[in-house]
Every structure is written in C-alpha cells, then in structure tokens.
C-alpha cells in the first residue's frame, strides 16, 4: 500500500503541473490535442471538447499536447499563433501550479502541526555557540544574511554549508520589555555522535499553533520557501563536490524512498503516515516547480527564455534554430535520465 501511495503522489504532482498548462491553454483559446497522465501506451482514454484525456501505462510523467506547439500551424487556435504573453502564461502555469499545490499542502501541515521558531532552548557545553555568548531564549533571525524563520532553516544551512564560518543574527529580550539585536560569528563544530556539524544549540521541539488566517498564510509561505531553498542548497552542494551525480534520484528512487519512509512511520499511526506523505508532496512539488523554471532547453524555463526574448525584441527567434536548441537540451536530459534511472535500479540491488 505504501508503494501505491508513493506512485499516486508522484502522479498527482505531475498531473497538477500538466493541469496548469492545460487550464491556461484553454483560457487562452489554445487547442489541446491530448492531456495525459503517465507515459507509454494508453490504458484508458476518452475524447471530449476536441481533447483526448488519457491514462498511460507508466505512472511517471505526463503531458499536455497543444496544437501547433512544436510546428507551424495556420489554425487560429494553434499555440504559436497566440500572443507572446498568452504563451508565456501557458508555459509558466505548470511550475506555478506546483508552487500553489505546495502552498496549499503547507497550509494543511502548518494548520495541523503549527510552526517551530528558531528560539534557543539550550546552549550546549563545549560547542562554539556558548563561547560566542548565545543564551537560552535567544531568537535566531539570520545566518550569513539568510532569513531564518524556523529551526529547520538553521539545520538546512549548516548541513549544506558544512564547516563554513557563519554570522548569526539574533534577538534577545533586554529585561525591560524590549528586544536587542545581537550578532555572533560561529564556526560549527563536527560531532562524531551526530555525524554532522553543530553550532551547539538545541531548540524547543514543541510546535506553536498558528493564530488566525494571516499567521497560517505567512508560515505556510515560509514552509514552501524552505523546500525551494532545499533544492537550491542541493545544487550548491553539487557545485562544491559534496553531492555527486550518483547521489541523484529519479522517479524510481523517489518512489522507493517514499515507500521505505512510509513503512518506517506506519507503527506511529495513520496521522503520522498522512503527514509524512503530505510533506513528500510539498518537497516534490516545490522541486518540480524549481527544476522546470531552470533556463534549460526543453524545460519550461528554457522555453520561457525564448518567449521573453521574443517579447523584448518584438519578433520570435527562428523556429528551426529554437527547435535545434530544445532538441539538444532534450537529448542531454534523456542522457541524464538514463544515468539517474541506472543509479536508481543499482541502489535497489
């Protein structure tokens, strides 16, 4: 059942992405040839309003095939015959819908579990935080210029910037009802016991409930921001040689990870399982949104680059040249997918 849930999560996230393209294509009067979930041969399909809706045999991927998207077509409803801003809205809608899904699910998580501010509960002996003067009750607000909204933000930064010197900005009650702003320079210390670098502070593990819609919206936005930052920090680690291509996971690896994690939390009850699945949805949806906005040919971000150039210069780039760029990008992406798939399968055995 956990494997089925993992596959469903992956399918829902991709469906939402493609639905964004589909909805804005319809709103802009663009003909949609097929809207499909999955890849490969069709398992089931039906046609309505000039569009074929399909479920395909492989539950990874999906598509929204639009009329005149990759070739010249004289039909008024063809994608390339619409205004550049209409096309931009259609291409951008997929990633934006992924961010919207992540935000809505974050509202569920935050509404049910609350939020955990980065308020220091304990300063550990023998670690740099104590030497730098941090005290229980201090609220950490920034690390190296990055805004901190929760204790998880701190953990993420230190894990992805291992051993780096950090400047910590924090607030401290001054004893007169006011707050003073303080700063400390800290070099996290490696802990054999924890297997990572630590400042030497512990945070209160009890979450605070949100009070009112405004606070719910704000902390839900912070939750999405955290997962988006997670993706960029992963890139940072790759560029600095701390993560290799062999560490990357594709659809098979992601489904396997979800399956294994769900199996581990099942003993803690249905609620924990559901919250775990929702967290995976947020992570993957934010990840898909970010990845698709990267200016890489064949991805939504690469297509947006060409569309924004067209908007600035007032005429499109030669379609044959653009097609060649996207084809080269697609070949590189396919090669990467094959490598990632190989890694995923290798890890299974």
Note whether 151 and 118 are within 8 A (CB): yes
Residue among 128, 125, 126, 115 nearest 158 (CA): 128
Those residues with Cβ within 8 angstroms of residue 233's Cβ, 6 or more apart along the chain or in another chain: 156, 157, 160, 161
Those residues with Cβ within 8 angstroms of residue 249's Cβ, 6 or more apart along the chain or in another chain: 257, 340, 343, 344
For residue 253, give both structure tokens. 């690896």
Those residues with Cβ within 8 angstroms of residue 31's Cβ, 6 or more apart along the chain or in another chain: 25, 50, 51, 66, 67, 68, 75, 77, 78
| 18 has catalytic annotation | yes
Which SS3 state, helix, strand or coil, does residue 83 take?
coil
| Spatial separation of the C-alpha atoms in residues 176 and 338, rounded to whole Å | 62
| Spatial separation of the C-alpha atoms in residues 129 and 149, rounded to whole Å | 19
Question: What are the phi and psi torsion angles at 149 (to 5°)?
Answer: -115, -15
Helix axes 213-239, 151-160, angle to 10 degrees: 10
| Spatial separation of the C-alpha atoms in residues 276 and 221, rounded to whole Å | 19
Residue among 308, 302, 311 nearest 332 (CA): 302
Active-site positions read 18
């Amino acid at each position: 059942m956990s494997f089925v849930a993992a596959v469903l999560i992956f399918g829902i996230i991709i469906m939402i992405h493609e639905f964004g393209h589909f909805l804005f294509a319809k709103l802009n009067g663009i003909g949609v040839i097929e809207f499909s979930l999955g890849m490969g041969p069709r398992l089931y399909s039906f046609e309505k309003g000039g569009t074929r809706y399909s479920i395909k045999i492989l539950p990874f991927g999906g598509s929204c095939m639009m009329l005149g998207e990759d070739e010249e077509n004289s039909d008024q409803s063809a994608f390339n015959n619409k205004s550049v801003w209409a096309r931009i809205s259609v291409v951008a809608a997929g990633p934006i819908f992924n961010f919207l899904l992540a935000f809505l699910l974050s509202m569920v998580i935050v509404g049910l579990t609350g939020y955990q501010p980065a308020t220091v509960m304990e300063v550990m002996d023998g670690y740099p935080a104590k030497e730098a003067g941090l005290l229980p009750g201090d609220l950490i607000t920034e690390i190296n210029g990055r805004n901190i909204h929760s204790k998880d933000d701190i953990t993420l930064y230190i894990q992805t910037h291992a051993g780096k010197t950090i400047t910590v900005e924090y607030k401290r009650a001054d004893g007169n009802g006011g707050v003073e702003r303080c700063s400390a320079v800290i070099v996290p210390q490696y802990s054999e016991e924890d297997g990572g670098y630590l400042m030497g502070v512990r945070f209160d593990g009890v979450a605070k409930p949100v009070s009112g819609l405004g606070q719910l919206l704000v902390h839900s936005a912070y939750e999405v921001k955290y997962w988006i930052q997670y993706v960029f920090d992963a890139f940072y680690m790759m560029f600095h040689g701390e993560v290799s291509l062999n560490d990357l996971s594709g659809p098979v690896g992601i489904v396997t990870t979800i399956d294994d994690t769900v199996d581990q939390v099942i003993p803690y009850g249905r609620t924990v399982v559901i919250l775990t699945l929702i967290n995976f949805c947020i992570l993957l949806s934010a990840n898909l949104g970010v990845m698709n906005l990267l200016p890489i040919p064949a991805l939504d971000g690469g297509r947006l680059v060409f569309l924004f150039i067209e908007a600035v210069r007032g005429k499109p780039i030669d379609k044959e040249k653009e097609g060649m760029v996207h084809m080269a990008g697609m070949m590189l992406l396919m090669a990467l997918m094959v490598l990632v798939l190989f890694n995923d399968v290798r890890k299974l055995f």
